Amino acid sequence: DAGVTQSPTHLIKTRGQQVTLRCSPKSGHDTVSWYQQALGQGPQFIFQYYEEEERQRGNFPDRFSGHQFPNYSSELNVNALLLGDSALYLCASSHGQGHYNEQFFGPGTRLTVL
Amino acid sequence: GENVEQHPSTLSVQEGDSAVIKCTYSDSASNYFPWYKQELGKGPQLIIDIRSNVGEKKDQRIAVTLNKTAKHFSLHITETQPEDSAVYFCACFQKLVFGTGTRLLVSP
């Protein structure tokens, strides 16, 4: 079992650009959540996808959007990048909707915005 | 919204000592409290969790205690080992919020 995988590992973008990050959940999981982790901080919840729909959302602007595919994999899109978007983006998968089921995290994608 | 405070931000102990990390939360509706360990270059890994209907839970060298009245919960690690060195995060789930993390360093 490969666990949760994310791509790419690292990414460098400039302000104003758009970025797409990808996540494949652990085998048997159908729910994907995305988090932003700034340096030295705890993860902050962006949103959660279940059955190809956004089910819950944290306090992030509409520049952050996502998608879940029929195979349960997911993408996180960020438009009009700002310097403050530089962070580690974590994907977590679980079985079933909500946060009460154990979430398995991927290694993250490190995004640097210049 | 929910606010989670975590202390201390750093903790240095000698191998074999005990380590305690404390978190307080503001939303009395929170009812699930997991703890995560994050090693360098890796995503957080769940190490133990507790639900609001339980006051204490133990798993080998790791235990978590919950005081719902005071709205705080703690992680206890006994007989620490160098491989316990990592950043530890508490979290509260009603609305999902993580603490700011504790960097634990266990010296041989």
pLDDT at A96: 83
Pairwise pLDDT comparison (B88 vs A56), residue with the higher score? B88
Inter-chain residue contact A105 with B91, CB threshold 8 Å: no
A42, A100, A106 ranked by CB distance to B89: nearest: A42
Is the pLDDT confidence value at B26 over 70?
yes
Distance CA(A66)–CA(B23), nearest Å, equals 31
Mean pLDDT of all residues in B34-38: 96
CB atoms within 10 A of CB A67: 15
Is the CB of B108 inside 8 Å of chain A's CB atoms?
no
Residue B92 vs residues A48, A110, B16, B23, B29: alpha-carbon distances, Å: 16, 25, 29, 10, 10
pLDDT at A47: 94
**Which segments in chain A show pLDDT lower than 70?**
1, 99
Q: Which residues of A40-62 are buried (b: 16+ CB within 10 A; e: fewer)?
A: eebbbbbbbbbeeeeebebeeee
Give the number of beta-carbon pairs within 8 Å between A and B. Answer: 44
Q: Provide the β-strand partners of residue B19.
A: B77
CA-closest candidate to residue A35, choices A74, A81, A72 = A74
* Cβ distance of A42 and B32 shorter than 8 Å: no
Partner A contacted by B43 (CB < 8 A): yes
Q: Which residue reads 């946060």 in tokens?
A: A99
With CA atoms as reference, the chain B residue closest to A39 would be: B100
- Interface check for B27 against chain A (CB to CB < 8 A): the answer is no
Q: How many other CB atoms are found less than 10 A from the CB of residue A89?
A: 24
For position A1, what pLDDT does the model report? 66
Cα distance from B94 to chain A (closest Cα, Å)? 8
Q: Strand pairing partners for B87?
A: B38, B103
Contact state of B32 with A100 under an 8 Å Cβ cutoff: yes
> At A51, which helix (H) or strand (E)?
none
Task: Find the CB nearest A102 among B42, B43, B46.
Answer: B46
Window 75-94 of B, Cβ < 8 Å to A: 89, 91, 93
Q: Quick one: pLDDT at residue B84?
A: 97
